């Protein structure tokens, strides 16, 4: 099919379906991101070529004074329906006209990949959500100070020394935490660990939870260490920002120091990567349409994101 340029708002709106991958900046709530994206879409659509106002029906009863100078009569003769004009009905596209929902929410301080289902893409987005794909985070902790909610914007509650913490000790702890979390994962399945059923389940590899009640962590790895900052890569399902922040805090306590979470960044959500995500200055209609197309390609390459039969973890 030949590619053609589109100037028509209705055509664009009709094709505005799918999953959108935006880069959520830290310090901005998901609802805020959503409304910003939607209002930018509407702004773009309203700048495109609009449909003309309707025509009036032919045999319309004439109301008016009946004089020749009466503009009402004059307008009826031209038979455009002024009540359908953009000035009287308001803009053709408004944010409420577009259906939009986030696949999985991110906390206010978390930045990174945020998937938004738009219009008919809501079906896909809810299916992705039901499949509980893994999200990958890069979490930066800052040792030496603890804060009230383990995030950087609250009061400092404790300070401590962190000279004794080394990269080896952190990665050792990360490995042991990963092991205990994986053990917990099998326990959550509801099977006795000393049974044949549990053995067969374990043979399949890692398994995913059935509901979104409990967070499950599949891997923790230290990827960067530069005192007082350390960065963990973390694969998990059903996590929340508070849970991750508390995890960093608990890790630091194990290491005989205190820490808070200085940055949380979601770099991957299933196959949706941070490299494809749309930055804030790209949140305009052409960028959004292009991004929707890219994500459609990704969904086509990985159909198991929508139809998941197996219990074990893939991607």
Partner 1 sequence: MFGSAIRNIIKSSQNAAKFEAICAQCRHIRANRSIQSEADTIKSIDVATKPNDKELEPAPEHSSAVALDFGSREAHVPSFNLAAYVNSSSTLQQLVSLGVDLHSIERRKGLGEFVLRLDFEKNIKPCLSFLADQGIAPDDFGKMVTKNPLLFKEDLDDLQTRVEYLKSKRFSDEARQRIFTQNPFWLMFSTKRVDRRLGYFQKEFRLSGHDLRLMATKEPNLITYNMEHLRKSVFTLREEMGFSARELQSLIVRKPRLMMIRPDDLVERFSYIHKDMGLPHSQIVQCAELLASREFRLRERHEFLKLLGRAQYDPQKDLYISPRTIVLGNNFYFVRNVAKSDLETFDLFLKTR
List contacts with partner 1 (CB under 8 A): 23, 25-27, 56, 63-65, 70-72, 75-76, 81-85, 87-91, 111, 263, 265, 274-275, 277, 279-281
Instruction: Supply the minimum distance, in Å, between the C-beta of residue 53 and partner 1.
Output: 10
Instruction: Supply the minimum distance, in Å, between the C-beta of residue 239 and partner 1.
Output: 20
Instruction: Supply the minimum distance, in Å, between the C-beta of residue 9 and partner 1.
Output: 17
Spatial contact of 104 and 129, defined as CB atoms under 8 Å apart: yes
**CB within 8 A of 45, min separation 6: which ones?**
9, 12, 13, 92, 93, 285
> Residue 23 or 218: which CB sits closer to partner 1?
23
> Residue 25 or 209: which CB sits closer to partner 1?
25
Spatial contact of 116 and 69, defined as CB atoms under 8 Å apart: no
Instruction: Supply the minimum distance, in Å, between the C-beta of residue 81 and partner 1.
Output: 7
> Residue 87 or 203: which CB sits closer to partner 1?
87
Instruction: Supply the minimum distance, in Å, between the C-beta of residue 82 and partner 1.
Output: 5
Spatial contact of 245 and 106, defined as CB atoms under 8 Å apart: no
Within 10 angstroms of residue 198's Cβ, the number of other Cβ atoms is 16
Instruction: Supply the minimum distance, in Å, between the C-beta of residue 202 and partner 1.
Output: 37
> Residue 151 or 207: which CB sits closer to partner 1?
151
> Residue 184 or 280: which CB sits closer to partner 1?
280
Q: Distance (Å, rounded) from C-alpha 24 to C-alpha 52?
A: 37
> Residue 173 or 261: which CB sits closer to partner 1?
261
């Amino acid at each position: 099919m030949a590619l053609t340029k589109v100037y028509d708002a209705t055509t664009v709106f009709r094709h505005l379906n799918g999953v959108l991958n935006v880069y959520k900046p830290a310090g901005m709530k998901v609802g805020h991101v959503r409304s910003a994206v939607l209002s930018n879409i509407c702004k773009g659509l309203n700048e495109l070529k609009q449909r003309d106002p309707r025509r009036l029906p032919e045999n319309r009863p004439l109301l008016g004074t009946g004089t020749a100078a009466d503009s009402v009569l004059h307008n009826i003769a031209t038979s455009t329906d002024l009540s359908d004009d953009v000035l009287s009905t308001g803009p053709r596209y408004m944010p409420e006209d577009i259906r939009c929902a986030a696949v999985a929410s991110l906390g206010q301080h978390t930045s990174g990949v945020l998937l938004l289902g738009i219009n008919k893409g809501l079906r896909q987005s809810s299916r992705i959500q039901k499949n509980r794909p893994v999200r990958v985070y890069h979490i930066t902790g800052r040792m030496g100070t603890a804060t009230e909610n383990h995030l950087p914007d609250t009061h400092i509650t404790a300070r401590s020394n962190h000279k004794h913490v080394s990269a080896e000790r952190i990665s050792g702890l990360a490995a042991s935490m990963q092991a205990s979390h994986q053990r917990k994962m099998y326990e959550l399945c509801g099977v006795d660990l000393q049974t044949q059923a549990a053995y067969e389940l374990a043979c399949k590899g890692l398994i995913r939870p059935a509901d979104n009640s409990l967070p499950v962590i599949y891997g923790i790895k230290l990827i960067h260490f530069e005192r007082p900052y350390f960065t963990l890569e973390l694969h998990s399902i059903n996590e929340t920002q508070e849970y991750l922040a508390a995890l960093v805090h608990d890790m630091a306590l194990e290491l005989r120091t205190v820490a808070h979470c200085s940055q949380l960044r979601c770099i991957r959500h299933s196959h949706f990567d941070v490299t494809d995500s749309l930055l804030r200055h790209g949140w305009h209609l052409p960028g959004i349409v292009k991004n929707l197309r890219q994500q459609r390609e990704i969904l086509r390459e990985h159909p198991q994101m929508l139809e998941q039969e197996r219990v074990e973890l893939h991607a």
